[in-house]
Amino acid sequence: NAGVMQNPRHLVRRRGQEARLRCSPMKGHSHVYWYRQLPEEGLKFMVYLQKENIIDESGMPKERFSAEFPKEGPSILRIQQVVRGDSAAYFCASSPLSRKSSYNEQFFGPGTRLTVL
């Protein structure tokens, strides 16, 4: 059973370009979380998604950032018009959590390191 997969592992963008980060959850997991880790800082929650639904996006910046988790395919975190301050490691986690389940351990991917020049 492959773990959580993220690609690309490293992404370089120039200011003003778009960044697309992909996350494929573990098999059987239908819940995805995105986190951002700025250099020398802790992880900050961004968004929690189920298939085709955004459940909690309270950690997402109001502008330029969006996330989706379609019925088919990976979850996508999209950053439009990137700025230098967006440079960070972006981690995705998945869990088998359902609203009726108390087992909701999160499993993390290796992260995508975004560098904005």
Select 41 or 63, whichever has its Cβ closest to another protein: 41
- Tokens read off for 54: 């955004």
43 binds another protein (CB under 8 A): yes
Using alpha carbons, select from 49, 47, 69 the residue that is nearest to residue 58: 47
Token pair 């998945």: residue: 94
Q: Confirm or reject binding of residue 1 to another protein (CB under 8 A).
A: no
Within residues 21-40, the interface with another protein by CB under 8 A covers: 33, 35
Residue 90 within binding range of another protein, rule CB under 8 A:
no
Residue 104 within binding range of another protein, rule CB under 8 A: yes
Q: Which residues contact 21 (CB under 8 A, 6 or more apart)?
A: 6, 8, 11, 76, 77, 78, 79, 90, 92, 112, 114
Residues that bind another protein (CB under 8 A): 33, 35, 41-45, 48, 55-56, 58-59, 91, 93, 97, 102, 104-111
